Chains A and B, each alone.
Chain A
């Protein structure tokens, strides 16, 4: 008994296999082109969630890498500024230790100290991408004001001290000149110094920003003018009144104590 095949089953089975192979061909072509499964969800099924989680982790790690670069640049800038501050502070300290003693070194040390302080403040106010680095969490407002730099004015006590020292020096030179006579080298040196000193005093006195009361200023001005005139007379040989100049300078010096 042979099995019976109907004509229709012969033709339909061929058609079915052709249709199936064509759809598999289309899927394979897609897979070659993209390098992934043609329908990833269908193929992976319940493991699709793993794929999604891994991709999310991957992109999050990329983001963290990028933000870490921002943080790294902030920390690098911070470190650079701090080591610069340390270097300038060390330099200032070194120069202070070396320079105890003479006056000229003191003023130059003061000038370099002032500029170092300016440098400290501008360093602490430095920004990166609009944020102030040394500001903690309040990164919008300027952190450190220049209030210290602006308010380094001269201490009045120190300036009177300097004037007194200058007058002391002038008196010493004049005493030596008095001993040596009006045509000596000491006399030339003393009179030159006295002239420069009192010219400086007069310029200070005529400065409208001077803090001294007007009466005192007027008196000191007339004193100064007399001293300069007298010094010129002594230098030209028409006077020998060292003693007078010495006494006036001593009185002014004592008044500055």
Chain B
């Protein structure tokens, strides 16, 4: 051991301390970063022959917790997408509360108003005012069905454009990921500090997880591979796979949306063999292909039931049933396929006073225009048989398509309230799932933050340590310097 080796050791100690303090300052500045910032750790080792050195700078990681957080992010995004879509669909139901000011003629439900108006008209069949009121209540009901069907189409269009936006985001994120990943691989190979790049790569993964559920694995070279939660490869071998989607601009009741393709494999829709179950894409696809379509089928069932109930039969002979008060363009009875009826159902203009029709035909029959279908043969003003028949028909059991996912055999009123129940159950379920998933996400984020984040107080106390060891090392150096000086001073005094 010599003084010069002591100097070297002191110098290496200073270097180490300055490196540690730079890591510390990075930690403190990144402590409140909203993006993921992991705690950097300077690994100090003792060199052979004394002295210390910062071998590497690593970051605090917890892969398990990080994986949890990614899946929680994706699940939360799914439920958010579903909830917002269901809230839009909920507007078609309107206000289900019963306020104390609602009376028999002013309830919140157009269907209920129509039944009441028809019931009032049945008591005074000669009264033109009551007949017109019944027909205009029917018109309000059909307008309600039409706007509900339009809202369903709108929801599907919005979901479709949401999926298109999401796919674009995924593609741009994958491009960014590729850049950062290459940086990390190169840096790991040369041994440089890649911790910041790793943090930004983790951030990209988090943003990606919002769009589509993913799992990620890291190789020893620092290369990362990304797979969807269905198992399809998104990124491997340093290159991103293609994610494609063809948007559909406008939706009718019969339109089917396109699937999202990752690497040629469909991941949404009925034909998906490896479907995605989480992420915004999964939520929007469920909304567009399952929820909205089922609700559309329920609305169409109600419209079809109305047309069937109010159909007129041939009084004179064996002619086919024709649509009566409620009709739709190009509809024939019996109704085979009711798809799209909710958007097309209208009040027959022959019975609508606003379109030049005669509201009293509701009592008489013959709304279809053919006089063979007139029920009131004698032309009596107080003919109630047809009206009683219609009111009974509204409470009679009908069969509905199974596409509605609710009961297939019920009367019209019960089917409509079953539809309301179904939508609200979906909404309530999505909302509670959303709450649950966001709580999980918070827990996972907190756990990750606790595992890998920065505690400023802890760093401050470390800073005290560093400061002390810096002053100790500086003291060491000045002591060695004094010793050198003493030595040289004695050398200078040797006589020649």
Contact = CB atoms under 8 A, between A and B. Distances in A.
Contacts of B124: 67, 70, 129, 131
A166 to B, nearest CB: 53
Contacts of B382: 131, 135-139
A8 B419 CA distance: 46
Contact of A43 (B413, B423, B428): B428
A180 interface: no
B236 interface: no
A157 interface: no
B207 to A, nearest CB: 18
Chain A interface secondary structure, helix, strand, loop or mixed?
helix
B381 A67 contact: no
Assign chain A's interface to a size class: 35 or more
B240 interface: no
A4 B39 CA distance: 12
B116 A63 contact: yes
B123 A49 contact: no
A7 B454 CA distance: 6
A7 B456 contact: yes
B413 A56 contact: yes
Q: Of residues A36, A53, A140, which shows the largest number of chain B Cβ atoms within 10 Å of its Cβ?
A: A53
A198 B444 CA distance: 129
Interface in B374-408: 378-384
A19 B431 CA distance: 17
A5 B417 contact: no
A22 interface: no
Given A59-B104, A66-B120, A46 B424 contact: yes
A4 B60 CA distance: 12
A71 interface: yes
Interface in A4-60: 4-9, 11-13, 16, 34, 36, 40-53, 55-56, 58-60
A81 B122 CA distance: 25
Given A8-B32, A48-B420, A60-B112, A130 B104 contact: no
Contacts of A66: 104, 120
Chain B interface secondary structure, helix, strand, loop or mixed?
helix
B344 interface: no
B109 interface: yes
B446 A52 contact: no
B422 interface: yes
Contact of A51 (B96, B112, B427, B452): B96
Given A36-B97, A49-B421, A56 B112 contact: yes
Interface in A195-235: none
A40 B97 contact: yes
B302 interface: no
A114 interface: no
13 contacts: A6-B454, A8-B454, A12-B445, A13-B442, A41-B420, A43-B428, A45-B421, A45-B424, A49-B421, A50-B417, A56-B111, A64-B119, A138-B382
Given A40-B96, A41-B428, 16 more contacts: A4-B451, A7-B455, A7-B456, A41-B90, A42-B427, A42-B428, A45-B428, A50-B421, A52-B416, A59-B116, A60-B115, A63-B105, A63-B120, A131-B124, A137-B382, A138-B379
Q: Please give me the 3 A-B residue pairs with the lowest Cβ-Cβ distance, nearest first.
A: A6-B453, A49-B421, A45-B428
